Amino acid sequence: MDYSSSWINTSLDLNINSHRVHQQLPKNVVENNFFSLEMKKSSPKEESSGALVEELKRVSAENKKLTGMLTEMCENYNTLRNNLMEYMRKNPDKESSPSKKRKSDEISSSNNNLMGGGEGGGVNGNNSESSSSDEDQSCKKPMELETCIKAKVSRVYYKQESSDSSLIVKDGYQWRKYGQKVTRDNPSPRAYFKCSFAPSCTVKKKVQRSVEDPSVVVATYEGEHNHPHPSQMESTSSGTNNRCRNPISSAVPSSAPSTVTIDWTKSKCSNESSSKKMMINNPKMEVPQILVEQMATSLTKDLNFRAALAAAISGKMLHQS
């Protein structure tokens, strides 16, 4: 209600002529005065309601502005995230650590939750549908990237005595055991190792006895070493570290899920002891024996020779099977 039009001049004219003093005030003046008194009582309420209305209008406008800004920020965020995903897809090698990736996924999911949950109170809730579809896409993309990373997996089969339950496979690298687990599909436990050069070297190894053949131990390698093989570094060693069983061919990681190599060598301890016995008993054979050993170590260090030998052996096995 607008009372401004009905505003009446309530100023009292005190310039009274002498002849007017004794006159009675007209009725309309009396009524106007009475009305003005009532108006004064109700004007604070009107003022407060007016102020409330103004405040409400102001806050609503601010709300609208904030909503606009929020939708714009979310759009920018989604654009940036898509750009990041594309970049990571193009450059998988230069990818960041998995922990940061998970963090970005959490951030995106929290953003989508904010958009979906916080807009039920009265603000436009149209963004919830688009955010949910974006979330699905974002969930799929990191999984694809992880599978690309995990594709560098190789398997190596080692011969091990059934009595030996240590699950320690000596492949020339040094490992640290960080876990052991019994799986449902295999009664023998599975041991988890990581390279001793961790965290710089991210290679992990899982060792488990084969279900089909208990004398065979399967070692699954994930990742690539970013350091040379210790046997290559130790060129002058007399064979103390070569006690370890090197597979005939090195497990070459590839984009395929797994490559299989077989190590049919017996434990080197027994071989060394037998070779030492040979040397003690036959000193005349010492020199050629040393040469033979040197040839053997140099050939085993040669990766190409190992690969060729593995191919030949696998070819023979296929013929036999």
Cα 194 from chain centroid (whole Å)? 19
User: Which residues have C-beta within 8 Å of that of residue 51, sequence separation ≥ 6?
Assistant: none
From candidates 10, 33, 110, 294, binder to another protein by CB under 8 A: 110
Number of residues that bind another protein (CB under 8 A): 39
Is 205:220 a contact under the CB 8 Å cutoff?
yes
Amino acid at 248: I
Burial class (CB in 10 A: 0-12, 13-18, 19+), 287: exposed
Give the nearest distance from C-beta 144 to another protein in angstroms.
19
From candidates 8, 29, 39, 123, binder to another protein by CB under 8 A: 123
- Asked if 73 interacts with another protein (CB under 8 A), we say yes
- Round to whole Å and give the CA distance between 146 and 99: 12
By CB under 8 A, which span of 105-113, 124-132, 135-143, 250-258 interacts with another protein? 105-113
- Phi then psi for 198, rounded to 5 degrees? -60, 150
- Round to whole Å and give the CA distance between 164 and 156: 18
- Asked if 311 interacts with another protein (CB under 8 A), we say no
By CB under 8 A, which span of 16-24, 56-64, 212-220, 276-284 interacts with another protein? 56-64
From candidates 92, 118, 214, 257, binder to another protein by CB under 8 A: 118
Q: Decide whether 104 or 258 has the Cβ nearer to another protein.
A: 104
- Asked if 248 interacts with another protein (CB under 8 A), we say no
From candidates 33, 60, 132, 183, binder to another protein by CB under 8 A: 60
From candidates 32, 39, 67, 229, binder to another protein by CB under 8 A: 67
Give the nearest distance from C-beta 35 to another protein in angstroms.
17
- Asked if 245 interacts with another protein (CB under 8 A), we say no
Site mask for another protein (CB under 8 A), range 36-55, x = bound: ------x--xx-xx--xx-x
* Nearest Cα to Cα of residue 224 among 152, 306, 146: 152
- Asked if 290 interacts with another protein (CB under 8 A), we say no
- Asked if 100 interacts with another protein (CB under 8 A), we say yes
Give the nearest distance from C-beta 3 to another protein in angstroms.
12
* Nearest Cα to Cα of residue 172 among 213, 200, 205, 202: 205
- Asked if 139 interacts with another protein (CB under 8 A), we say no
Is 310:261 a contact under the CB 8 Å cutoff?
yes
- Asked if 111 interacts with another protein (CB under 8 A), we say yes
* Nearest Cα to Cα of residue 111 among 88, 92, 134, 95: 134
- Asked if 131 interacts with another protein (CB under 8 A), we say no
- Asked if 196 interacts with another protein (CB under 8 A), we say no
Give the nearest distance from C-beta 72 to another protein in angstroms.
10
- The sheet with strand 189-195 has its strands ordered as 175-182, 189-195, 204-209, 216-222, 153-159, 260-263
Is 244:268 a contact under the CB 8 Å cutoff?
yes
- Phi then psi for 138, rounded to 5 degrees? -65, -35
* Beta-strand runs (E) in the chain: 153-159, 175-182, 189-195, 204-209, 216-222, 260-263
Binding site for another protein (CB under 8 A): 42, 45-46, 48-49, 52-53, 55-56, 59-60, 62-63, 66-67, 69-70, 73-74, 76-77, 80-81, 83-84, 87, 96, 100, 103-104, 107-108, 110-111, 114, 118, 121-123
